[in-house]
Structure 1
Amino acid sequence: MNFNNILFLDIETVSQYETYNHLPEDWRELWDLKAGLLLRNKEADTPETIYDRAGIYAEFGKIICISCGYIQGTKEDRKLVLKSFCGDDEYRILTDFADMLQKWSGDTDKFLCAHNGKEFDYPYICRRMIINGIAIPEALKITGKKPWEVRHLDTLELWKFGDYKSFTSLKLLAKTLGIPSPKDDIDGSMVNSVYWNEKDIDRIAIYCQKDVITLAQVLLRFHCESFIKQENISIKYVQQQN
């Protein structure tokens, strides 16, 4: 595998509105219907108490950060370069990411890689692009393509080896493979609160970048390759979209 032809990515999402009470009436009714399906046999919760989970659904959430990384060099000289698109303006985040992706994937020998990307990151990005009226880049399209024409890698799927009974988090997988955990500050369940209550987008971007670093290290470990040294990891820049 040519690791230099892979774009590693991770996204962070939050609810479109700060709290359940901020929802417009028509959206509140729609969330209540959605929540009703999620709350079957869970009498202790209500649509309001689980609203902080709205961000994982593209219809009720939005993307506030996309972090990407690509590898340069080979073997012991490998370097990982990171870049993030983040902020409050989802349209600009997606537009700039789409432009970058279109330029990066100029030939057919390029791959995307994410953890649980086929179930979450890739479709979420595509859905939010459609909602925002943005053309989906060729690298993200799967409609009409044969399975071997879709260049989407998923470290969760690779780790399953055909076993579909369970979910393995990136944190658990990293620990299993002897890779330092990316979860040394916040975790996914805290992103909504950090965004709406603390307004700390930089903290979220750093968290997202750590996931991308871990993702790249995991894929290298899958192929019995040495890890990228910490001193060879650089952040090109974080692009705030406000």
Structure 2
Amino acid sequence: MCVTKPLVSIIMPCFNASLFITKAIESVIQQTYSNWELIIIDDCSLDRSLEVIGNYDDNRISTYMLSVNSGSPAAPRNLGIKKAKGDYIAFLDADDSWYPEKIELQLNRMLRKQADFSCTSYNLIKEGKVVSCYKPPKSATYDDLLINNSVGCLTAMVRTDFVKKHMFPVCGHEDFALWLKVIKDCGYVLGIQECLANYNVVEGSVSSSKHKLIPYFWHIYRNEENMSIADSLYYCARYFFNVVFFKYR
């Protein structure tokens, strides 16, 4: 009996990514798991991004364009989610890349563990060199995630119905806000210890300095999670303590 493999929808926002999007796309094409669709959302690029994307003749790749630049990855990702036809959704930014076995290993682990939400370990890349490998906890609950966003967006894979139910809010650090909503529905996130992706750290970006995320976390605690001022202060302090003393990511 032939069993149909689940379709994995990969959402890739793109803005002025002509210098590095080839590597990202190639890392998808080279996956050992073949039943995927790659949905690229161009956010009004001013460079040759669309020309580079157009060089690929693969019916699993589709491209959509926003009419106005959104200024954040939330809108392109949400459009990609709306277009997604897969059973699972994964995310890959145009300047990052995956190992060839990423989808196959991650999906098989999720199916075996009956997990609806997972993430993996990933390399942090600076100036083309691996500087460290971040490993998430083997399992994290909502309470765990509140004090340590252990889900790297480029490694996340989520059952589609959970993502379409919530989508990315436009709030700054939108992925963390979405993970909190998803994990309340599915119970936990499975942390796969194998390093399966490469994340490019851009110097000066908010994500390159974890203490800069605290104002975004405050907003998420207060406005997305509707926490009290006291609880929001508590979780911001816990997050800061973890970053400074335990050096999470």
Q: How does the TM-score come out when normalised to structure 1?
A: 0.30
Per chain length, whose mean CA-contact separation is higher, i.e. which structure has more relative contact order (CA < 8 Å, sep 6+)?
A: 1
Q: How does the TM-score come out when normalised to structure 2?
A: 0.30
Structure showing greater radius of gyration is 1
